[in-house]
Amino acid sequence: MSLLDYRLHEIHSKLHEKELSVSDLVDEVFRQIGEREEKVQAYLTLDEAGARAQAKLLDDKLVSGEARGLLFGLPAGLKDNIVTEGLRTTCASQFLSNFNPVYNATVVSKLNAAEAITIGKLNMDEFAMGGSNENSSFHPVRNPWNLERVPGGSSGGSAAAVAAGEAFFTLGSDTGGSIRQPASYCGVVGLKPTYGLVSRFGLVAFASSLDQIGPLTKNVEDSAYVLQSIAGYDPMDSTSAKVDIPDYISALSGDVSGLRIAVPKEYLGEGVDAEVKETVLNALKVLEGLGAVWEEVSLPHTEYAVATYYLLASSEASSNLARFDGVRYGQRADSGNLLDLYHESRSQGFGDEVKRRIMLGTYALSSGYYDAYYLKAQKVRTLIKQDFDQVFEKYDVIIGPTAPTTAFKLGAQVDDPLTMYLNDILTIPVSLAGVPAISVPCGFAGGMPVGMQIIGKAFDEQTVLRTAHAFEQHTDHHKRRPEL
């Protein structure tokens, strides 16, 4: 059993009882990386020297009795769109291949305050645009459960690293499902918090009204610890919510007696693999056996979610990526005039998927099309949110599959962007509504992990975590590890 298989509180117990040191943890994670990274390719940048130096400082704190951080000594990987002072941050794009930030994202500062150790930056779809991690401009990540399959995206590196034992936990970003879908494909726990609960300061923006940072972990308890450490108001983020942060860890009571669960018929309908559907229904029986009750409901505007999302997200991407012009930083083409400089820098720096979304978003925002597309999509977004509001008037959580299928083969959909977009059909509505959701392993189909998505009311992560934890305590899916 690897040290990285222990729960967070078990690791802390061993540290304080002097059964192991922080340096032992760092040694173990880099040993795992040395054995497995060539196959999985989850990382873009590693900081072994920095991690070992930090481990030595924390070991000194352990000896002096000053070890108090909630994530003390835990090796963590960060998605490569979260800026880290002095550590290369590329967004998996050639445009930023040599970008070394001069400041930390707020979540990085919070991890440092919690005394976690950053070991490196994780591979992703370029600028978080993709659902399979094949859009990285460096190399694709491979699913640890089957190296011929995708890990999901855009946080594919973040999910694969946890599944492969190459980090104790990781942070990813979720715009339309980019934490939850790869968590499902890789058999780990992935949490998208309520929009505004975790600061976006220092997260390179894709779609600002949707982006949210969250943890990927081996189990729900660890997810609660990480969320406890990174949640909270940040004056540096204008969309940060001023809400009280509850004790997420104490919410893990294991009690779901009387919990009211809504199961949308749209989430188990056409396009959802039969084995995936059966696996999730069996998971609902586990919760039913623990005293929860569930009923079928309808979220009628689900069918419009994908079209709505890609209009809004692409429009925001078009605006956010305007800063990458070849003048201020990043890729700069050798060109004779300003217009050619813009054109050539972007042509050389951006990949096909990024260009596709910039063009779609620019079109939707252009004169004569704004009202017909962008404004209409905003109105439909409101209807989708109202669907969730109405269901939550009667129910505590909404449950369904995280993804309609298990992980597909590398290259199978790379030339079919519309099919690729539809892989997020069950996660996108949640992002549009801005509510929290977690994906937990609930079984296997064809030898590949299946994720169950538990969706909660805005800022009610406690109920989401409590439900996920209760299910996890009565199953062992999360304990299974891929045989690399």
> Residue 419 phi/psi, 5° resolution?
-65, -40
What length does the chain have?
484
* 286-307 average pLDDT score: 97
136 part of a folded domain? yes
pLDDT at 34 over 80: yes
pLDDT band with cut points at 50, 70 and 90 for residue 334 = confident
221 part of a folded domain? yes
- Tell me which amino acid residue 246 is: P
Give CA–CA dist 82/97, Å, rounded: 14
Give the CATH number of the domain where residue 24 resides. 3.90.1300.10
Span 401-423, pLDDT tens digits = 999 999 999 998 877 777 787 78
* 76-99 average pLDDT score: 97
31 part of a folded domain? yes
| Domain with 30 in it | 3-259+436-479
pLDDT at 146 over 80: yes
33 part of a folded domain? yes
468 part of a folded domain? yes
Domain count, the chain: 1
Span 197-228, pLDDT tens digits = 999 999 999 999 999 999 999 999 999 999 99
Which residues form the catalytic set? 79, 154, 178
In Å, what is the CA distance from 71 to each residue of 140, 296, 422, 424, 430? Answer: 30, 39, 36, 31, 28
> Residue 163 phi/psi, 5° resolution?
-65, -35
244 part of a folded domain? yes
What's the pTM value of the predicted model, to 2 decimals?
Answer: 0.96
413 part of a folded domain? no
pLDDT for the residue 221:
97
167: CB partners within 8 A, 6+ apart? 4, 29, 75, 76, 77, 119, 161
Give CA–CA dist 392/194, Å, rounded: 15
- Which segment of 1-10, 52-61, 140-149 scores lowest on mean pLDDT? 1-10
Q: Which of 8, 35, 66, 27 is nearest to 223 (CA)?
A: 8
369 part of a folded domain? no
pLDDT for the residue 416:
79
